[in-house]
A and B are shown apart, each in its own frame.
Chain A
Amino acid sequence: MREPPYATELKPYGRALVELARERQDVVCLGADLTRQTETDLFRDDPELGSRFFNGGMAEANIVGVAGGLARQGHLVFVHSFGVFLTRRAYDQVAMAIAYPRLNVRIVGFMPGLSSPGGPSHQAIDDVALMRALPNMTVIDVADAVETAQAVRALADLPGPAYLRLKRGEIPVIFDEDHQLSLERAQVLLDGDEVVLVAAGMMLPAALAAARTLRRAGVSAAVVHVPVVKPLDAATIAAACSGAKGVVTAENHSVVGGLGSAVAEALAEAGVSCTLRRVGVPDTFAETGSRAFLFAKYGLTAQAIVDSAWEAAALAGTPPTTSDAEAAAGSYSLV
């Protein structure tokens, strides 16, 4: 694992999809406008692949249905838009045309949570909850460019449907090249037995920063990285949290129905007794604004994780302050 400030990459998803499609003739790429924004211009403009790219325009319900039809005939279908439009807007279609028949369609939704400046209409704060509620659906919220590329590979051979949640623009490189994304296992990135921070997607860097701060303050803090929210690796999470005083989940998503809810269910069912705090969008619609502004305003920060851990574990004194110096200007911000 690398140390911050993290370097960033552009279009790791788009490049990985092109690479896969060159090897696999069954791959078809669908879009609903927003081609450059979903990194699929690389696919569309590739002379070898362009004939397998179809842009359905601003009609998400239809393109999801078309994806189902193609998959029924043996194609591996990747369908793209912003997360809000593929999950909220086309929910019944995803449920009936893809999830229920258990087809090999990858629903790739960009701009998760408050990473979009576009306000509530563009902010997918409930996409994980919606997709997690569907039987047969795998739900993935990767943290960096290395995992993004690996997720495309891993999803190529996964039977059944999956929702892949991807950040747009500059994608941090957190993991080393030898990192191995697993669709089955959550990863304990840091061991610790006093507090456990369970993070997914864009909140992993903040969770790592929070853990470093807590450790400097003498608190034994673990970090569990959960790129696959469904099926949840409940065993790894329960084992890591067993005996801990406090557990904090961190997600760029509503605290209702996403990672925090999934972890709460897993811990309760495993009989793990500890105090849980969920860091995420606090059951509210947000507003327009820069990512840094929105993350700070709605509490998606390393400091919020530290404070929540301190409270959950009922630690004495005041919680330590996290250092924003770890996020150098121009790099992927931890705020």
Chain B
Amino acid sequence: MAVDGTATLEHRELERLAARIRLAAVRMVSPHGFGYLGQALSSAEIFAVLFGRGHVRPGHDRFVLSPGHYAIALYAVAAELGLVPEDELGSYGADGALLEAIATERTPLVDLTCGSLGQGLSGAAGLALADRLAGRERRTVAFLSDGELQEGQVWEAAMFAAHHHLDALTVVVDANGSQCDGPVRSVTTIEPVAARWSAFNWTCFEVDGHDVGALAGALDDGARAPGPAVVVARTEIFGRLTSLPDAADGHFVKLSDTLEDSVTAELEEAVARA
């Protein structure tokens, strides 16, 4: 996607933000030695672009975090942008903490989130419908993961949103190909993902989800498209980090001290480079 001079600078900042999201996420799971790290590693650029480039303006737009397991990425970007105190990250996932491992009604910065997967898009459609009834000009952005596309309710909601021409609704799917039992394609395939959204009358963009420029361009185009739009962001569960072994469980990463050291080193280098 074309980016002008200003956006090139912005582009670099977003890449740096994505790297910092990953680093923050590693530090958040560090006290426990395990957690939903893969979710943050795959979606770092998505959260960097959504929140770092004004696609989701907290307090104005509506943001739906359908898979609550991605709370880690939301907290990381929120701390980087000063939306939650950075020292809160230290208590991520701890008993009684505000920042729970799977997002809940208490979670800051989300208008709607689900731990029970596949429900977010229906709620997002309700939010967008309410804005239209009230004549309010604002967007509803719903973040979905690819695994939850196996839930039939997602497609009920997709049908509903297209039927009602919910122009102000944008979906971003983190297509990291990973679910609890392993690769999505080995469990029950959801491919062809983009063709399925198109068949449901959505304007669909399929991009490299680690390319901030491509994500930004698709989100811009999606906002202008008639009817609801979806950006299928093709990502890798470990966000192209080389220090995590391929065999690791992407849904729920176990991070030994040695592994943590090598991942941290790789990410610190990425932050410095970006």
A73 to B112, CA, bound (A): 11
Question: Taking the complex as formed, is B243 at the interface, i.e. its CB lies under 8 A from any CB of chain A?
Answer: no
Q: Is the interface of A mostly helix, strand, loop or mixed?
A: helix
A169 to chain B minimum Cβ distance, whole angstroms, is 29
Contact in complex: B153, A68 (CB < 8 Å):
no
Cβ-neighbour of A66 out of B105, B115, B126, B152 (below 8 A)? B126
Q: Which residues of A contact B (CB under 8 A)?
A: 28, 51-52, 54, 56-57, 59, 61-75, 92-93, 96-97, 100-101
Contact in complex: A65, B105 (CB < 8 Å):
no
Contact in complex: A73, B131 (CB < 8 Å):
yes
Q: Which partner residue on chain A sits nearest B118 by CB separation?
A: A61
Cβ contacts A to B, 22 pairs, < 8 Å: A56-B156, A56-B160, A61-B152, A61-B156, A62-B125, A62-B160, A63-B160, A65-B119, A66-B122, A66-B123, A66-B157, A68-B122, A69-B125, A70-B130, A72-B111, A72-B123, A72-B130, A73-B130, A73-B131, A96-B115, A97-B123, A100-B105
Question: Taking the complex as formed, is B185 at the interface, i.e. its CB lies under 8 A from any CB of chain A?
Answer: no
Given contacts A61-B152, A61-B156, A72-B111, are A66 and B129 in contact (CB under 8 A)?
yes
Known: A65-B119, A92-B116, A96-B114. 18 other contacts (CB 8 A): A57-B160, A59-B159, A61-B152, A61-B153, A62-B156, A64-B122, A65-B125, A66-B129, A66-B160, A68-B112, A69-B112, A69-B123, A69-B124, A72-B123, A72-B127, A92-B119, A93-B119, A97-B122
A148 to B124, CA, bound (A): 32
Cβ-neighbour of B119 out of A57, A59, A70, A96 (below 8 A)? A96
Contact in complex: B159, A65 (CB < 8 Å):
no
Q: Which residues of A contact B122 (CB under 8 A)?
A: 61-66, 68-69, 93, 97
Contact in complex: A57, B116 (CB < 8 Å):
no
Q: Is the interface of B mostly helix, strand, loop or mixed?
A: helix
Question: Taking the complex as formed, is B9 at the interface, i.e. its CB lies under 8 A from any CB of chain A?
Answer: no
A158 to B116, CA, bound (A): 27
Given contacts A61-B152, A61-B156, A62-B122, are A69 and B129 in contact (CB under 8 A)?
yes
Contact in complex: A69, B127 (CB < 8 Å):
yes
Contact in complex: B127, A93 (CB < 8 Å):
no
Q: Which of B105, B126, B156, B157 has the most CB of A within 10 A?
A: B126
Q: Which of A56, A62, A92, A93 has the most CB of B within 10 A?
A: A62
Q: Which residues of B contact A69 (CB under 8 A)?
A: 112, 122-130
Contact in complex: A66, B134 (CB < 8 Å):
no
A93 to B122, CA, bound (A): 10
A66 to B142, CA, bound (A): 13
| A-B pairs with lowest CB-CB distance, top 9 | A69-B126, A65-B122, A73-B130, A62-B156, A59-B156, A66-B126, A69-B123, A61-B153, A69-B127
A261 to B72, CA, bound (A): 42
Q: Which partner residue on chain A sits nearest B164 by CB separation?
A: A54
Contact in complex: B123, A65 (CB < 8 Å):
yes
| Per-position binary interface string of chain B over residues 119-151, scored 1 when its CB falls under 8 Å from any chain A CB and 0 otherwise | 101111111111101100000000000000000
Q: Which residues of A contact B164 (CB under 8 A)?
A: 54
Q: Give residues of chain B (140-180) contacting chain A, Cβ–Cβ below 8 Å.
A: 152-153, 156-157, 159-160, 164
Contact in complex: B133, A57 (CB < 8 Å):
no
Given contacts A54-B164, A65-B123, are A93 and B153 in contact (CB under 8 A)?
yes
Contact in complex: B112, A66 (CB < 8 Å):
no
B198 to chain A minimum Cβ distance, whole angstroms, is 20
Q: Which partner residue on chain B sits nearest A30 by CB separation?
A: B126
A179 to B160, CA, bound (A): 41
Contact in complex: B153, A65 (CB < 8 Å):
yes
Q: Which residues of B contact A96 (CB under 8 A)?
A: 114-116, 119
Q: Which partner residue on chain B sits nearest A52 by CB separation?
A: B133
A227 to B112, CA, bound (A): 33
Q: Which residues of A contact B130 (CB under 8 A)?
A: 69-70, 72-75
Contact in complex: B116, A65 (CB < 8 Å):
no
Q: Which residues of B contact A28 (CB under 8 A)?
A: 133
Contact in complex: A97, B119 (CB < 8 Å):
yes
A204 to chain B minimum Cβ distance, whole angstroms, is 36
A94 to chain B minimum Cβ distance, whole angstroms, is 11
A104 to chain B minimum Cβ distance, whole angstroms, is 12
Contact in complex: A68, B116 (CB < 8 Å):
no
Q: Which of B112, B114, B127, B153 has the most CB of A within 10 A?
A: B153
A52 to B133, CA, bound (A): 8
B102 to chain A minimum Cβ distance, whole angstroms, is 12
Given contacts A28-B133, A93-B119, are A68 and B156 in contact (CB under 8 A)?
no
A272 to B205, CA, bound (A): 66
A92 to chain B minimum Cβ distance, whole angstroms, is 5
B222 to chain A minimum Cβ distance, whole angstroms, is 19
Q: Which residues of A contact B156 (CB under 8 A)?
A: 56, 59, 61-62
Q: Which residues of B contact A66 (CB under 8 A)?
A: 122-123, 125-126, 129, 157, 160
Contact in complex: A67, B126 (CB < 8 Å):
yes
Contact in complex: B123, A68 (CB < 8 Å):
yes
A49 to chain B minimum Cβ distance, whole angstroms, is 12
Given contacts A59-B156, A62-B157, are A101 and B127 in contact (CB under 8 A)?
no
Contact in complex: B129, A70 (CB < 8 Å):
yes
A97 to B127, CA, bound (A): 12
| Per-position binary interface string of chain B over residues 23-50, scored 1 when its CB falls under 8 Å from any chain A CB and 0 otherwise | 0000000000000000000000000000
Q: Which residues of A contact B157 (CB under 8 A)?
A: 62, 65-66
B245 to chain A minimum Cβ distance, whole angstroms, is 35
